[in-house]
Structure 1
């Protein structure tokens, strides 16, 4: 039963894009990067202009009319980057299967499942404007997709009419209340489960850790795995020795009990002999 996971990522756009020269590429194999799949890869500032320029212009004009020019926003991307409430973009990492599945017969099926999930993500989530969607197949871990998006909601009466708002984007997609995000993720997991079922596989929720391992993490994982095996072998050896010692103790205990019985028997014989000697002594002294 393969796992499937959708977890929050750190959002390193440059790391995701293998076309950018990296100072450190030890977390993947550059010779395998041609196998990666790039669905979307757009500069974030271009997307911000596309999404918000019209609303930004209307907002700034309204501030001028209200004699509040100091409230104008010059650059909406920079404005959101300094915000304490919103982030410029969000990232989720999606994976079907884990590192152990790469050497099994279901690996090609899991690749297909991931591709199916990716091709419908934007249409399923119209208020998450995807700026980068790249599947990595050049790492030791299982194939996984970095999906980075800008949350967009419209029809706002405060601030920009169309603005960056994760909560607002979820609400306009039908996810409300304090569990809005959890409900959205459950919906995505249900979609992942449906994909797996169409391919004859069952869904098991993954934690997103073993699924997405880089070289350093993989080495640590293997080291831990080897240590665990060694510890289990050591435990088995100790258990075997413990059984052997217990067996020896049982034998010693039996020997002890036999010796105690023999000592008890000898004590009885000694007592009888002493009585006999005592009687013989009396007989000789009395001349009986």
Structure 2
């Protein structure tokens, strides 16, 4: 409900025909603050700051609650009602009804923790009607606003602050939020052995926009798998170090497989024709194309590196074949002559030892030339 909850009924200020007064004492009042007081607690500080900045009296706000009630942009409060089962399978006076009470009680406490931007000013669990159920009345608010009061009423922005954004009129943020709360309640139910039978909420009844979103998710998953396959086409650096004289053909490790590339292009082309509101998917397509471009550039670089290495190897073999040049032969001749000279010196020294000093003196004079 949007601003149409009946808090007096929730608090049992009056007893309706469908209420069993003998069971009213089993009800739980979690909290209650008059809505005017709740507004004062939430917005008075921001209201005072706003009024202090106004230079025109017609912009001055005396009572923020009355302003919201009279306005058309926001509702003063919202009420949500959560119920498990019906009078046939979860009657309030039955054992299952007591189980439903336990589940709803746990759900309420987690609701408050899970929704910090929804100020709950009234919450009541009823056990005196046919089926256990809980009424939660709250004021949605956002802080840090640059328009109007810094802290102001706004369901859309309050849910956005909690990370929930809609996708148009057919799937609003409130629809998504309610669905999330139902799923949370279902999780708590399952902990107590109660399974959620989603009557009238089968996937066949998804809205057109939600169906499109589910379809996009499937296509996106397929695209991501294809990208992953392409990224796994790695080049083995060891192959560069093991180059031989024979030509080295490029293998599938170097070249991206044409089949994978064509699959990726086909998948990407499907996204080009999507509607303008698919901005996020188009960004993913752009990133995918960049990944392909980077891979192709890397492959071209590696091919160039392989070619350069082969050229270097060929040059090395050519240089090795030219090592025996005329200059090298001349150097060998010179070294051989020096070796023969050293051999002559050694031979003369041996003669000196054999024939005495006289010969040795002459031998030393001869050695002086060397």
TM-score norm. by structure 1 comes to 0.64
Contact 1:9 1:91 in 2 (8 A): yes
Q: Secondary structure at the match of 2:50?
A: helix
Between Structure 1 and Structure 2, whose CA radius of gyration is higher? 2
Instruction: Find 1:112's aligned residue among 94, 98, 102.
Output: 102
> Could you list the runs of 4 or more consecutive aligned residues of structure 1 that deviate by over 3 angstroms after TM superposition?
7-10
Distance in 1 between the 2:144 and 2:162 partners?
14
1:197 aligns with 2:205: no
Distance in 1 between the 2:94 and 2:124 partners?
23
Task: Please give the root-mean-square deviation of Cα atoms over the aligned residues, in Å.
Answer: 1.8
Q: State the Cα deviation string for residues 103-137 of structure 1 (Å, max 9, x = none).
A: 76433222211111111111111111001100111
**Equivalences for residues 1-288 of structure 1 within 5 A:** 10-18=4-12, 20=13, 22=14, 25-63=16-54, 67-101=55-89, 102=91, 105-139=95-129, 141-177=130-166, 178=168, 179-205=172-198
Q: How far is 1:182 from its partner? A: 1.7
Q: How far is 1:204 from its partner? A: 2.1
Q: How far is 1:31 from its partner? A: 2.6
Aligned pairs, number: 194
CA 1:142 to 1:133, structure 2 compared with 1: closer, same or farther past 3 Å?
A: same
Q: State the Cα deviation string for residues 182-238 of structure 1 (Å, max 9, x = none).
A: 22112111111111111122112368xxxxxxxxxxxxxxxxxxxxxxxxxxxxxxx
Contact 2:31 2:123 in 1 (8 A): yes
Query: Between Structure 1 and Structure 2, which shows a larger proportion of strand residues?
Result: 1
TM-score norm. by structure 2 comes to 0.50
Q: How far is 1:9 from its partner? A: 8.5
User: Could you tell which deviates more after superposition, 54-63 or 181-190?
Assistant: 181-190
Q: State the Cα deviation string for residues 10-30 of structure 1 (Å, max 9, x = none).
A: 401111111x2x2x6323122
Distance in 2 between the 1:167 and 1:201 partners?
32
Instruction: Specify every segment of 5 or more residues in structure 1 that has no aligned partner in the other structure, as ranges.
Output: 1-6, 208-288
Q: State the Cα deviation string for residues 19-51 of structure 1 (Å, max 9, x = none).
A: x2x2x6323122321110111111111110110
Higher relative contact order (CA 8 A, sep 6+): 1
